[in-house]
Amino acid sequence: MGVKKWLMKQQWRLTQIRGIWSLFYGTFMLAIAFYGFVPILKEMGPIAPFIFSGILFLLFIIGGYIYDKVLIMWAPSQEVWMERNPYQYVPQPRDRIFWFPFFSVLLDVSEKMASKHNVDTSIIDEVREYYSELEKYTAERKEDIDAATKLRENFHSTHSFKDLLHEEK
């Protein structure tokens, strides 16, 4: 597994632990609230809410470990789906039907507004050219997938979002 995939998996795990933390915190707060009313908690003394929440926390951690490491319920199916999905490289039929016409209208409106205010429209023309070139590729041809990937990499290398944040002086 590459470093990038490993880091993404750790980031996913950190986002998932928020639910477990909220479960621990919620049961702890309920145990404190009901401490005087539940006989078992009262018999255990003031440490009872910590023990009760800790036991539930450990049960969920063990269950999560079994789900993640022993049963491996999610990882392989997602990795296979992503690797075998040709539409991550070329436009989907939905993109051709809905998104490309929508982007075309947005680019037309942007170009009209830019022309009205005497702003350079060369980037809009380059984006329009990129989408028209990308629309030619299909998932049925292997060479199209390679060409679309190369086209996307070239476009993103010359038109990164960080360039939009820098104002002209």
Each domain of the chain, given as residue ranges in start order, spans 3-84, 88-165
Give tens-digit pLDDT for 25-60: 888 898 889 888 888 888 888 898 989 888 888 888
Taking CA atoms, 98 is separated from 91, 95, 105, 108, 154, in Å, by 11, 5, 11, 16, 24
DSSP 3-state of 130 = helix
C-alpha 52/C-alpha 42 separation (Å) is 12
The reported pLDDT for the residue numbered 24 is 82
Q: Is the pLDDT of residue 128 over 50?
A: yes
The reported pLDDT for the residue numbered 169 is 44
What are the tokens at 155? Answer: 């476009």
Q: What is the pTM of this model?
A: 0.48
Taking CA atoms, 44 is separated from 32, 120, 136, in Å, by 13, 74, 71
DSSP 3-state of 99 = helix
